[in-house]
Chains A and B, each alone.
Chain A
Amino acid sequence: MMKYIIELILSIGKVDRRWIFLVIGLAVLLPLFFPLGLPIRATTATQRVYDAVEELEPNSKVLVSFEYGPSTKPEIHPMAIAILRHLFTNSQKVYVTCLWPDGQFMAEDALTEIAEEEYGLTYGEDYVLLGFRPGNEAVVKGLVSNIRKLYTTDARGTLVDQIPMMANVNKVKDFDFIFSASAGYPGTIEWVQYAADPTGVPMSTGTTSIQVNDVMPYVQSGQVKGILAGMPGAAEYEALIGSPGIGTSGMDAQSIAHLVIVLFIVFGNITYFIETRRAKKY
């Protein structure tokens, strides 16, 4: 009986990888059709971001920077939207910049969906899209010294001097908070190194899961106040602000897929142990 089970395990261990692809594909697809509704619990890192935003006085000036593109949109767009929702609910003034060119497309989509359609806010008084400027960290450095040198007009072509909410905003130090939704270079690290650290303006960030470990040391040392890590981080933030969105709907699929991969690792190692013990015997 034992032998039969062992033989079965070994034969499954050598299965064609296309069956593995099918299993993982189904593990991701099925929960999207049949959601499980698992409860989402925020981690300390996400809670710290929430607290940092919650602590801001109403009508604070918040700089939100979009540096991600379509290939990382599923991870970062939900958190950008959740942050915008939180800021607009608390009546903050939002200034949007982009260090990536495709970030501007993402910013426009997010602002149209949230600021215009959901909250019905006025452009130029409650939020403004300054847009993309090329130059990577040079843009961050430029914002720290003089915004108007970099931005003579906003993304829609209006002169910055004519935008009401840009009055008295000349450099990064005039902002009360910075949030960077970042997927790589340039992104969070540039904001920390050239803006938040030198000026002392508090900052938070949301990044792709892959980038999290690169940014962790800054979070741990307090230079960045908490971090939203990938789609799970976005879902946790949506749970904290009480409006589930795209991040939450993907969580069940994420949970099941992770469980399947852990089971794959465990099963693969069981086969490995059986094989090595057999090899030792003979």
Chain B
Amino acid sequence: MLWKRQIPILIATVVGLLTLFGWFIDNPGIESFVNDDATQWFDILASFAIFLGALNLMKLQGRKVLKQHSGWQYSLFAIGGFIFAIVAGFIYKGNDAVAWGVHVTSKGTLFKWMFDFIFTPLSATMFALLAFFVASASYRAFRVRNLEATLLLVSGMIIMVGRVPLGSSISSWFIMYLLVLVGSVAANIKFQDKIITFGVLLGGVVIVTIWGSLAGWPVDQPSIFYLPMLQDWIYNNPNVAGARAIMIGIGLGIFATSIRYILGVEKSYIGE
């Protein structure tokens, strides 16, 4: 139990305290450890974690093939893909002018070919699939159930349309007419009176039309209804406020959690 529990917690505590106080201690040995070696060790261990993940994956896929679980034929493709990538990375260079090591970032090698024609299309398309799911969710799931959801969707829609060229082509007067329409629908829902609804609609249309004719129908005035300007204001002000609050909150949370790990209060990384 000593090896499995106490020592890992001790390692986390000692290393954590060393790196935390390393920011404040003036000893050159500790400073050089914290600044250079500590991050390097972190990267090296992260690499070993990747290797561990690869070994686990091959163990799982291999077991599936050997025991012929359902879909084992597809596991052959996974194993084959892995072997191909390892061959390209360690066995067959494809371009003798390039040394081992830099061949992973050089042109003309089998590794680069694999990167361009297999890895890139796969990873890019996986991400691109999400565009379709976002569209489907917009249609079927995003509902204006309360004021908060309304704010979210309205600000989202203004940003989406205001940020693209289409938004600058939509006149602010069109938006004002749209608001008059929305206002009359809201009046209808609230007062349930045809006369009030019609009054709001007619009044709104008349006011906007007279105002517009007097102003000469400029596309981007009044600027508060011009989508790109409105989008700019939302983007630079309330949006930054919210993002900043979240950033500060996360910063404080990370600080608190880091202290918990260093003090050994939080033991989830060893599975407890």
Contact = CB atoms under 8 A, between A and B. Distances in A.
- Direct interface between A and B, CB < 8 A: yes
Interface of A: 17, 20-21, 23-25, 28, 38-41, 43-45, 69-74, 101-102, 104-105, 108, 131-132, 134-138, 141, 155, 157, 213-214, 216-217, 220, 229, 232, 235, 251-252, 254-262, 264-265, 267-269, 272
Given A216-B243, A255-B166, A262-B157, A24 B144 contact: no
A149 to B, nearest CB: 10
Contacts of B166: 38, 255-256, 258-259
Given A135-B43, A141-B35, A70 B115 contact: yes
Contact of A251 (B124, B140, B143, B164): B164
A265 B153 contact: yes
Interface residues of B, number: 52
B107 interface: yes
Contacts of B195: none
Interface majority SS (helix, strand, loop, mixed), chain A: helix
B161 A232 contact: no
Those 3 A-B pairs whose CB atoms lie nearest each other, nearest first: A255-B166, A70-B120, A38-B165
A39 B169 contact: yes
A41 B165 CA distance: 7
A250 to B, nearest CB: 10
A214 B39 contact: no
B23 interface: no
Given A20-B135, A43-B228, A217-B247, A255 B140 contact: no
13 contacts: A21-B135, A23-B135, A24-B135, A38-B165, A38-B169, A41-B228, A71-B123, A138-B36, A138-B40, A251-B164, A267-B139, A268-B138, A272-B144
B25 interface: no
Contacts of A259: 161, 166
A190 B8 CA distance: 30
Interface string B140-167: 1111100000000100110011011111
A257 to B, nearest CB: 8
Contacts of B244: 217
B213 to A, nearest CB: 25
Nearest to B168: A41
B133 to A, nearest CB: 9
Nearest to B35: A141
A41 B160 CA distance: 15
Contacts of A25: 132
